[in-house]
Amino acid sequence: MKKNKDVLVEEQSGPLMADVARLAGVAISTVSRALANPGRVNEKTRVKIDAAAKQLGYTPNAMARSLRVGKSNIIMIILPGSLYYGASQIIPQVLQSINKALIQNGYNLMIANLDRDEESERHILDLAFGGTVRGAIILSSKLPEVDGRSLANAGLPIVSMLLDMSDAGLPSIVTNDREAVREVTTELIRLGHRRFLYIAGPEGNYHDVERYGGALEALRGAGLSEQAVSRSGGSLDYQEGFEIGVQAAADFARLTDKPTAVIATSDDMAISFISRVQRTGLNIPGDLSVVSFDGSPVCEFCSPPLSTIEQPVEEMGQAAVARLLGAIGDSDNEPETRTVVRSRLILRESMAAPRR
């Protein structure tokens, strides 16, 4: 901004629509119409406007133009809550992957919320019902509902990510949580472990249900009872992963029949658990094997390096965007409502056979 005769005037960063209209000898509204909907302007006038725009180097605001024709290029991302700043950075990594895929396809990312309180829910729904966005990807949480409105009724293509809502007809991109934990528990059993500590996430949480279910399936498959696994945690949110791990270390110390292997549902839980139990003189993996979930890069630099199930964030982001853009484009294909992207186990020094 600059002052001219005591009046604030916006600095011009380039040619304006008015300049194009002046050069083409038409009204500004005609230029606007030609750029937004060329079919509504006769060919001779449209050619003049195009020539004037090219001569001046005028570039229309892409967002404003898309909104005028009712085709926003904005995709809304709905977060489960505030961003987490621990070692497990799944949500930020997923956001980065989604943003990259959207940009490659000519769309822009809008983060709709940093909380899930009533005010945030109302804001999300205002965006959805107001025509600001073209579609929505919701991460690891239920659909916003407030004031009798639900995102499900906004008429938008929606994809759920990291939470299976396919039973409700919502396209869902998930990982093979149950299978991944079942396989790593089976590997621990193969190494000779028969007593386990499971460090749980919030009770009833989709991921915790799936992962704990996988551990129990492995035990049953090996002829072991559910009594072979002790549970810790369950009362705190994943955002409090470090605190859950500290509590699990205290719970472990109180157990008479000590487990020889620990399965944690997040890297943060495992990292803080290891730190505390090592202070008591236990050796990992000599006295206690530990494996976790998420695949945080920092796991490689723990002491000892931590075995972890790595979530495929890049593939998940690409799959979610592809599924959403297919819905936006009214694709004739009928893809599966539920898409499963496989995680992978990264074996490191924190897992070994138990001492006899």
Are residues 272 and 241 in contact, defined by beta-carbon separation less than 8 angstroms? yes
DSSP 3-state helix, strand, coil percentages of the chain (rounded to 5)?
Answer: 45, 20, 40
Distance of CA 25 to the CA centre of its chain: 50
Percentage of the chain exceeding pLDDT 70: 88
Say what the pLDDT of residue 84 is.
74
Alpha helices in the chain (DSSP H): 17-24, 28-36, 43-56, 62-68, 90-104, 118-129, 177-191, 206-221, 241-254, 267-279, 313-328
Cβ contact 73:108 at 8 Å: yes
Of the listed ranges 240-244, 269-273, 296-300, 329-333, the least confidently predicted one is 329-333
Integer-rounded Cα Rg, in Å, for the chain is 27
Spatial separation of the C-alpha atoms in residues 335 and 333, rounded to whole Å: 6
- Tell me which residue of 288, 259, 270, 298 sits closest to 352, measured CA to CA: 288
* pLDDT tens digits, one per residue of 226-254: 999 999 988 777 778 899 999 999 999 99
131-160: per-residue pLDDT in tens?
Answer: 889 999 999 999 999 988 899 988 889 999
Question: Cα(32)–Cα(61) distance, rounded to whole angstroms?
Answer: 11
> What are phi and psi for residue 330, nearest 5 degrees?
55, 50
pTM for the whole structure: 0.77
Residue with tokens 């005769």: 5
Domains of the chain: residue spans and CATH: 2-60 (1.10.260.40), 74-175+313-341 (3.40.50.2300), 177-311 (3.40.50.2300)
Q: What is the pLDDT of residue 55?
A: 81
Which residues, in sequence order, are CB contacts of 67 under 8 Å at separation 6+?
A: 131, 132
**276: how many CB neighbours lie within 10 A of its CB?**
17
Which tokens is 317 given? 């982001």
**What span, in angstroms and rounded, lies between the C-alpha atoms of 298 and 305?**
9
